[in-house]
Amino acid sequence: MAASSSEGQGKTIALVVFVVLTVMTGVLAFYFYDQTDTLTQERNSANQAAETARKQETTTKNNYKEIRGLVYGEQTEEDHAKVVELVRNDLKTPRLGATHKDRKLEYKSFKDALDFLHDELGTADQRTDEQNKEIAKLRAEIESLKETYQTQVDVAVKDKDEKTAELAAETEKFRTTIDQKDREIAQISDERLRALNSKQDAEQNFSRYREKTDSDLKRLDNTIADLREQDRLREQIEFVSSDGQIAEVKPQKGTTVAYINLGSADGLTTGTTFGVYGRDQGGNPYKFPKANIEVTRILDEHRALARVDNWKFSDPVIPGDQLYNALWSPGDRISIGLVGLVYLNDRVGGETTGLELSYENDQFLNLVKQLGTNIDAVYDLGSQKIQGKIDVQTDWLVVGDIPESKENDPQERKEFLSSLRKAEKLMREQARENNVGIIHVRNLLTFMGKQQPQYTVNSGDEYRYLYGKKRKGIVDEGPKPVNSLDRDGKGGK
């Protein structure tokens, strides 16, 4: 009985313990699952926050990369510190408006640089308007000159007709006088000697008058021919080609230097000169050079340093200006003929026979030979003969001064000038037969970028010194940045 009681009590205790353990296990399981659910929610929230952060990081990186590309024109891979350093350096040494006297030394941001650029463009627009007004003024002057030259032609033709009529009247008058004197000699033997002397005087007077009239007619014919030649040359004023262009301009020790996009690979040598041509609002090159440059150093295959001469403060040389030399072209050789007197040094008058001017003609020939120019034909002042011949391969016939002989000139000078004029006529005919351009030496020196010698020009002879040229056109690619100097346009924008 006691054993049975103890066994029942043990079962009760065991049951209680089991129930307690079951309840504790349930409680622990509930607590564990509750905690697990809470931690799962926290983990999901953390993962969502991490994904949002990654998206924001990607967006920020893309935005930073886009801004960096806008600043440097490419998607550079430099780290942030290096990019910041590059930006700071660019803001300290900007290239915007580098030639402007009032350029800011340092910008706080690229917005300041853009504002400054807009100001520069506004100033450039204003200068363009002023240049357009100047072009309109020059066009009006050209029209006025056309009317003046036409008036001169009309006056010269009228003068020639009057002189011809006057010569015919004087000829008839002298013939009448001579006939009358002949009759008097036949009729009055006592007065024969006086009549004969009178006849001789009349014949001498007539001879002198006829010589003077013939000289006047010849001068008028030459004037008409020169005026017509001037009209032809005026049609050649337009700028049609370019040998190179200005890449960069810098002031240097009281002067101005320019970097050009020509170099050793183009056959350029030091001492070569060019005329500098600006552009109008439409992008077309000027008709006349606004400055000259002389190459002082070859820097690279397509880069050289040059000194800028004869430029105007109102129209300075700027990057993108075109270069032209009538006797030099990259990778090409120009051929010329030469006749006449060349003056490379300042002089007044020019009453020499021309024989002593051989040195200056030789100087000119040496100058053009240094540019690689071929001399197809030349009138030698010493031997007074034409050496060589102008043919279809010749590009230019260069004509120097051809003075007219005067009545009181020495016989040596008269013979020299007569031979010179005959040579000029023959070489001009050869040039026309072979379709070779004819240009005055002063025009040629201008288009070579050379300073013109100073000497007296008589009134009425200004038409001899107009500008004219003719060359095959090339495709002009327009201005390029300083860091893009190759001729095929690679690397530029």
Q: Would residue 367 count as lying in a domain?
A: yes
Res 486: pLDDT: 43
Q: Is-contact 246 260, C-beta < 8 A?
A: yes
266: exposed, middle or buried (Cβ count in 10 Å: 0-12, 13-18, 19+) = buried
CA distance 1 to 7: 10
DSSP per-residue string spanning 78-97: --HHHHHHHHHHHHHS--TT
- Are the CB atoms for 456 and 468 separated by under 8 Å? no
pLDDT surpassing 60 at residue 471: no
Percent share of the chain, pLDDT over 70: 75
Residue 102 lies in a domain: no
What's the distance, CA 191 to chain centroid? 79
Q: How many domains does the chain have?
A: 4
- CA dist., res. 138 & res. 144, Å (int): 10
Asked whether residue 364 is assigned to any structural domain, the reply reads yes
Q: Are residues 374 and 445 in the same domain?
A: yes
Alpha-carbon distance of 221 to 225, in angstroms, equals: 6
Both tokens assigned to 125: 């627009």
Contact 402, 361 (CB under 8 A): no
pTM for this entry = 0.44
pLDDT confidence tier of residue 74, bands split at 50, 70 and 90? low
pLDDT for the residue numbered 459: 52
CA 283 to CA 239: how far, in whole Å? 12
In a domain, 478, yes or no: no
The per-residue pLDDT for range 145-204, each reduced to its tens digit, is: 888 888 888 888 888 888 888 888 888 888 888 888 777 777 776 666 776 777 788 888
Query: What is the span of the domain harbouring residue 292?
Result: 244-324
Residue 130 placed within a domain: no
Residue 313 sits in the same domain as residue 407: no
Residue 312 and residue 346 in one domain? no
Q: Could you tell me if 200 and 273 lie in one domain? A: no
* Angstrom distance (rounded) from CA 302 to CA 298: 9
Token pair for 293:
């440059």
Supply the pLDDT for residue 3.
59
Kindly write down the DSSP assignment for every residue of 309-342, as one continuous string.
ES-BTTB---TT-EEEBTTBBTTB--EEEEESB-
> Would the pLDDT of 457 be above 70?
no
Based on the domain organization, do 313 and 261 belong to the same domain? Answer: yes
Which of 3-17, 126-140, 347-361, 420-434 shows the lowest mean pLDDT across its residues?
347-361
Specify if 91 maps to a domain: no
Boundary-marking domain end, from 73, 102, 118: 73
What is the chain's length?
493
- pLDDT at residue 451 in the model: 65
Asked if 91 and 108 count as a contact pair (C-beta separation under 8 A), the reply is yes
Check whether residue 339 and residue 461 sit in a common domain.
yes
Query: Rounded to an integer, what distance in angstroms lies between the CA atom of residue 87 and that of residue 72?
Result: 9
pLDDT value at residue 16? 81
Q: What is the pLDDT of residue 493?
A: 28
**Predicted pLDDT at 429:** 92
- Burial (CB count within 10 angstroms: exposed 0-12, middle 13-18, buried 19+), residue 484: middle
- 359 with 426, same domain: the answer is yes
Residue 380 falls inside a structural domain: yes
Residue 262 is predicted with a pLDDT of 92
293 and 271 part of one domain: yes
- Is the pLDDT at 438 greater than 80? The verdict is yes
* Highest averaged pLDDT of the listed ranges 78-82, 218-222, 284-288, 293-297: 293-297
Q: 260: domain CATH number?
A: 2.40.10.410
Range in 189-203, 252-266, 326-340 with the lowest mean pLDDT: 189-203
Q: Identify whether residues 373 and 459 lie together within a single domain.
A: yes
pLDDT for res 481: 45
State the pLDDT at residue 337.
94
pLDDT digit string, tens, across residues 347-384:
544 455 455 567 778 888 888 888 888 999 999 888 88
Q: Are 304 and 262 in contact (CB under 8 A)?
A: yes
Across the range 216-234, mean pLDDT stands at 62
Question: Which residue, among 326, 318, 334, 332, has the nearest Cα to 245 in the 3D structure?
Answer: 318
Higher pLDDT, 16 or 186: 16
pLDDT of residue 222: 66
Q: Does residue 63 sit in the same domain as residue 178?
A: no
- Which of 57, 73, 89 finishes a domain? 73
Give yes or no: residues 411 and 302 share one domain: no
| Inside any domain, residue 2 | no
* Residue scoring higher pLDDT (241 or 53): 53
379-416 pLDDT per residue, tens = 988 888 999 999 999 988 999 888 888 888 888 888 88
Helix (H) or strand (E) holding 444: helix 441-447
- Among 183, 206, 234, residue at a domain's last position: 234
Please give the mean pLDDT across all residues of the chain: 76
* Residue 467 pLDDT exceeds 50: no
**Residue 332: HSE in the Cβ half-sphere, 13 Å Cα cutoff:** 14
Q: Which of 439, 431, 489 is nearest to 467 (CA)?
A: 439
427 confidence band (pLDDT: 50, 70, 90): very high
Compute CA distances 384 → 41, 153, 379, 429, 460, whole Å.
Answer: 112, 33, 7, 18, 29
Contact predicate 259/303, CB 8 Å: yes
Mean pLDDT score, 438-442: 84
Lowest mean pLDDT segment, chosen from 18-22, 166-170, 296-300, 465-469: 465-469
435 with 351, same domain: the answer is: yes
**Six-digit token pair at 181?**
């004197």
Task: Using the predicted structure, report yes or no on whether residue 240 has a pLDDT greater than 60.
Answer: no
**Of 317, 362, 365, which Cα lies nearest the Cα of 337?**
365
